[in-house]
Amino acid sequence: MAHYFDEPSRTFSEYLFVPGYSSASMTPDKVSLQTPITKFKKSTQPVISLNIPLTSAIMQSVSSDELAIALAREGGLSFIYVSQSIESQAAMVAKVKAYRAGFSPNDTNIRPNQTVAELTELRKKTGHSTTTVTEDGSAHGKFLGIVSSRDIRPDYTSPETLIRDVMTPFDKLVVAQDGITLNEANNIIWEKKLNVLPIVDKKQNFVAYVFRKDYNSHRENPLELTDDNKRYLVGAGVNTRDYEERIPALVEAGADILCIDSSEGFSEWQKQTLQFVRKKYGDKVKIGAGNVVDGEGFRFLAEAGADFVKVGIGGGSMCITREQKGIGRGNATAIQDVAKARDEYFRETGWYIPLCMDGGVTFDYHMTLALAMGADFIMLGRYFARFDESPTQKLLVEGKYVKEYWGEGSARARNWQRYDHGGAGGKLAFEEGIDCYVPYAGSLHDNVALSLAKVCATMTNCGAMDIASLQKNAKITLVSAISIREGGAHDVMPKA
């Protein structure tokens, strides 16, 4: 006889927190959202922790290098999408790693013997006006000067003019040597009243810029997630097909952590991929696996060597897996069940394996519920797709600004490796995700700040000042259908 679960499969909207005691000193600004992302042995510290419990989904329409930089600046982490060539994914990872907090890489470069017309074309492509003149036109070539918007007078400067005749040459610029700290660079900017300070190495090769305009943003982001060299942390998705080639390329490019991207993680393919990493790199390379929705699936991946386990099947906002295949589990039940198995595993082995709640986290309070139910961090697609920094187009549809969003199992992404069951060949036999729009919401910084303000406020109401105590002490209740109605504005006439 088939196995039947006693509990119905429940989702976050069916639960509410019941407040706990909060003392006068418990205020939202004092809440710590720091959280582990890699497994660790009892009484030791995880090798990697996040400063906020948010990661962005391994999706074409979400996790590009630009979003990764914006999210790391807030203290979270992106997993660059895997459904692209190994070369382009590794290039995206390298681009994030080239970005030292406060130091901007150069993506608009030109040779001195090129023309103003070529410069105009280049600027249209990159959207940046500060152009670096290097001997060979490469990003880290010998630095010869800068062309800024002030050097070219529109309608007056002939398009045929050579760059060498309009640029501010190297000997007229204030530059600093590589190795300078951000503080020292900012001091020079203020003392010399500069807008930008170029950094060069000993051979005069270009390294990076420090911009005056970034000074405040850096000060506003004390939670920035960086490595020991002040470079932003970045993750990358991998699949269970080309991992032998893809993983070394991503590691070489500087990825700090990997995650197997699959709609269903309780499989021999995941075990083989994890074993490949352990054999080749030991514990040096960190890799998460998933997705699973019950204790059995969790234990399989834990024993196979996963650094974290991702939870959730069929709950994603654009996902139609449950409709297509009848497979999945309500997110709340899934995370509760897996967290129970994780805690048992910890008691048995002394290894704590962080859990990631992935997909279907819709309202901000769902984040808090997921954390309280045992998730250590959350992965979001729809949420991040709405922001300026996501890689998709912003469009005006029926009078409202939207951004494009599509599932990895949609015909548009054609990420068959995520859904395939192995064997020879590989194709997307039927769709498991849709191509859609999400309402445009503005900047990642503003939205993440607002969401986390709500998370911290709820935690304070629960008497929890960090995620571990929320998991231990939260009081959570199921709600009836009628009380869900009571939870919104009701029996009043809202003004339009």
Q: Which of 33, 59, 371, 402 is close enough to bind ligand MZP by CB under 6 A?
A: 59
> Quick check: helix, strand or coil at residue 45?
coil
Q: Which residue is nearest to ligand MZP (CB)?
A: 433
Report in angstroms how near the CB of residue 317 gets to ligand MZP at its nearest. Answer: 4
Report in angstroms how near the CB of residue 419 gets to ligand MZP at its nearest. Answer: 8
Give the whole-angstrom CA distance, residue 287 versus residue 277: 8
Stretch that binds ligand MZP, among 12-20, 37-45, 154-162, 374-382 (CB under 6 A): 374-382
Report in angstroms how near the CB of residue 466 gets to ligand MZP at its nearest. Answer: 24
**264 with 294: CB under 8 angstroms?**
no
DSSP 79: E
Stretch that binds ligand MZP, among 186-194, 363-371, 373-381, 386-394 (CB under 6 A): 373-381
- Residues in a beta bridge with 387: 442
Which residue number, 81 or 211, has a Cβ lying nearer to ligand MZP? 81
Q: Which of 433, 441, 447, 470 is close enough to bind ligand MZP by CB under 6 A?
A: 433
Whole-number Cα distances in Å, 66 to 58, 73, 79, 132, 379:
14, 11, 12, 20, 17
Which residue number, 145 or 235, has a Cβ lying nearer to ligand MZP? 235
Helices 295-304, 268-281: axis angle to 10 degrees equals 30
265 part of the interface to ligand MZP, by CB under 6 A? no
Q: Which of 264, 294, 389, 408 is close enough to bind ligand MZP by CB under 6 A?
A: 408
Q: Which of 200, 432, 459, 465 is close enough to bind ligand MZP by CB under 6 A?
A: 432
Query: Could you count the other beta carbons within 10 Å of the beta carbon of residue 63?
Result: 31
Report in angstroms how near the CB of residue 444 gets to ligand MZP at its nearest. Answer: 14
Stretch that binds ligand MZP, among 39-47, 119-127, 158-166, 357-365 (CB under 6 A): 357-365
**Omega cis (within 30) before 415:** no
Q: Which of 39, 231, 271, 382 is close enough to bind ligand MZP by CB under 6 A?
A: 382
Residue closest to 237 by CA, chosen among 270, 260, 254, 255: 260
Total residues in contact with ligand MZP, by rule CB under 6 A: 21
Give the whole-angstrom CA distance, residue 413 versus residue 433: 9
373 part of the interface to ligand MZP, by CB under 6 A? no
321 part of the interface to ligand MZP, by CB under 6 A? yes
379 part of the interface to ligand MZP, by CB under 6 A? yes
Residue closest to 68 by CA, chosen among 414, 390, 495: 390
Instruction: Dig out the tokens for 242 from the structure.
Output: 């080309």
Residue closest to 469 by CA, chosen among 23, 8, 10: 23
DSSP 182: H
Give the whole-angstrom CA distance, residue 439 versus residue 398: 12
Site for ligand MZP in 219-238 (CB under 6 A): none
Report in angstroms how near the CB of residue 265 gets to ligand MZP at its nearest. Answer: 10
Q: Which of 57, 210, 459, 464 is close enough to bind ligand MZP by CB under 6 A?
A: 57
Q: Which of 317, 390, 392, 460 is close enough to bind ligand MZP by CB under 6 A?
A: 317
**167 with 108: CB under 8 angstroms?**
no
Give the whole-angstrom CA distance, residue 470 versus residue 475: 9
Q: Which of 145, 360, 374, 391 is close enough to bind ligand MZP by CB under 6 A?
A: 360
Q: Which of 235, 354, 359, 391 is close enough to bind ligand MZP by CB under 6 A?
A: 359
Report in angstroms how near the CB of residue 360 gets to ligand MZP at its nearest. Answer: 5
**290 with 58: CB under 8 angstroms?**
no
409 part of the interface to ligand MZP, by CB under 6 A? yes
Beta pairing, strands 109-110 & 475-478: unpaired
Give the whole-angstrom CA distance, residue 199 versus residue 177: 6
Q: Could you list the residues that contact ligand MZP (CB under 6 A)?
A: 57, 59, 316-319, 321, 358-360, 379-383, 407-410, 432-433
